[in-house]
């Protein structure tokens, strides 16, 4: 393809990328979908916040299963760190800067929130919680 046309397309696409941008189209699409859900649940919802996501990640709710009282039980308190499952297997870092593939596959994102929210909190996470969490990890 002609390089000038390619450059024009890239420029046009970057202008189109609006909303909660994390410089990764797949992740932005996941966040846009969560934002829609959050606004459906709460008409006054004002958008995701990394700071709320940080608090959520570092909290110890201990309202789920006894072996997993918090996110940090397996992920460690630093999103940059490699975590460890209870069975001894390594978990790649949650921080997007350390692991750029994080939060780019919608099915994986749903699967892991579905499992871990129930393991740690004893309930599903809300769309707002998921969006805050991803926004925080994308900023790390």
Partner 1 sequence: MRNLILAAALTLVAAPALAEGGYRMPPLQNAAVTKECGACHMAFQPQFLPQRSWQAIMGNLSNHFGENAALPEATRAEIEAYMVTNASDGLTWKSGFAAGIPADQIPLRITELPKWKREHREIGGAAFTSGKVKTPANCVSCHAAAASGFFEDD
Asked if 127 and 42 count as a contact pair (C-beta separation under 8 A), the reply is no
Instruction: Based on DSSP, count helices (H) and strands (E) in the chain, helices before strands.
Output: 6, 2
Site for partner 1 in 38-77 (CB under 8 A): 65-68
- The reply to whether 114 sits near partner 1 by the rule CB under 8 A is yes
- The reply to whether 89 sits near partner 1 by the rule CB under 8 A is yes
- The reply to whether 106 sits near partner 1 by the rule CB under 8 A is no
d(CA 13, CA 140): 25
Binding partner 1 (rule: CB under 8 A), the pick from 85, 97, 101, 106 is 85
- The reply to whether 81 sits near partner 1 by the rule CB under 8 A is no
- The reply to whether 107 sits near partner 1 by the rule CB under 8 A is yes
Q: Among residues 40 and 111, whose Cβ is nearest to partner 1? A: 111
Q: Among residues 3 and 89, whose Cβ is nearest to partner 1? A: 89
Binding partner 1 (rule: CB under 8 A), the pick from 76, 116, 126, 139 is 116
- Minimal distance in Å, beta carbon 62 to partner 1? 14
**DSSP letters spanning 68-104:** -SSTHHHH-S-TTS-EE-TTS-EE--SSTTT-TTTT-
83 φ, ψ (degrees, to nearest 5): -90, -175
- The reply to whether 84 sits near partner 1 by the rule CB under 8 A is yes
d(CA 28, CA 33): 9
- The reply to whether 18 sits near partner 1 by the rule CB under 8 A is no
d(CA 22, CA 135): 8
- Minimal distance in Å, beta carbon 115 to partner 1? 4
């Amino acid at each position: 393809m002609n390089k000038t046309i390619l450059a024009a397309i890239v420029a046009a696409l970057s202008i189109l990328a609006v909303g909660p941008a994390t410089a990764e189209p797949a992740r932005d699409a996941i966040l846009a979908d969560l934002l829609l859900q959050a606004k459906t649940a709460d008409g006054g919802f004002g958008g995701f916040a990394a700071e709320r996501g940080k608090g959520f990640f570092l909290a110890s709710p201990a309202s789920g299963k006894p072996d997993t009282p918090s996110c940090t039980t397996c992920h460690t308190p630093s999103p940059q760190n490699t975590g460890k499952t209870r069975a001894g297997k390594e978990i790649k870092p949650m921080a997007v800067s350390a692991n750029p593939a994080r939060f780019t596959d919608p099915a994986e994102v749903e699967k892991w929130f579905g499992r871990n929210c129930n393991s740690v909190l004893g309930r599903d996470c809300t769309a707002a919680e998921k969006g805050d969490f991803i926004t925080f990890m994308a900023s790390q």
